[in-house]
Amino acid sequence: MTGSTPNMKAHDSLAALDARYVNIAEMEWAPSPFEGIQTKILYSDPETGLSTILFKMDPGAVVPDHIHTAIEQTYMLEGSLEDDQGACTAGNYVWRPGGNRHVAHAPNGALFISMFMKPNQFMAGTKFFTEKK
């Protein structure tokens, strides 16, 4: 098994095929390279690039210009994430095909979970949330 939930020491003693339960409330929010955006990495596989991330964005925070290199799926828990193509609001879902490029912002803040098949490519060269800095 190559994937893991970072900093979940309780998982270290599990057998390869055991379920990995994640107590999200016990996880610390980690700062991201972007102002006003914090993350909790729920799953990350460095070999494939697959990841599941919980995001918290402050009101007015922006995810800068980036390309989705493969399918990305997002379920909005609170607030909204908006771009020039539309808005994903609380209780709703959006998916983007590989090749989709946009700038996203959270005018009133947002809490959402996203699943990535591969890391996004940020146009300014910033590393993706799961990539080593």
> Region 76-94: what's the mean pLDDT?
97
Which residues, 6+ apart, have CB-to-CB distance to 19 below 8 Å?
Answer: none
Asked whether residue 4 is assigned to any structural domain, the reply reads no
Asked whether residue 128 is assigned to any structural domain, the reply reads no
Asked whether residue 101 is assigned to any structural domain, the reply reads yes
User: At residue 122, does pLDDT exceed 70?
Assistant: yes
Asked whether residue 3 is assigned to any structural domain, the reply reads no
User: At residue 93, does pLDDT exceed 70?
Assistant: yes
**For the chain, what is the mean pLDDT?**
91
Asked whether residue 23 is assigned to any structural domain, the reply reads no
SS (H, E, C) the chain: CCCECCCCHHHHHCCCCCCCCCCHHHCCCEECCCCCEEEEEEEECCCCCCEEEEEEECCCEEEEEEECCCCEEEEEEEEEEEECCEEEECCCEEEECCCCEEEEEECCCEEEEEEECCCCEECCCCCCCCCCC
Asked whether residue 54 is assigned to any structural domain, the reply reads yes
pLDDT on residue 16:
79
Give the chain's domain count: 1
Q: Write out pLDDT tens, residues 8-65.
A: 666 767 777 888 888 899 999 999 999 999 999 999 998 899 999 999 999 999 999 9
Longest dimension (CA), the chain: 46
Report the share of the chain in percent with pLDDT over 70: 91
Query: What is the CATH number for 74?
Result: 2.60.120.10
Asked whether residue 19 is assigned to any structural domain, the reply reads no
- Answer yes or no: pTM beyond 0.85: yes
φ, ψ of residue 86 to 5 degrees: the values are 150, -165
79 neighbors 87 (Cβ within 8 angstroms): no
What is the domain range of residue 48? 9-13+29-122
Asked whether residue 34 is assigned to any structural domain, the reply reads yes
pLDDT on residue 98:
96
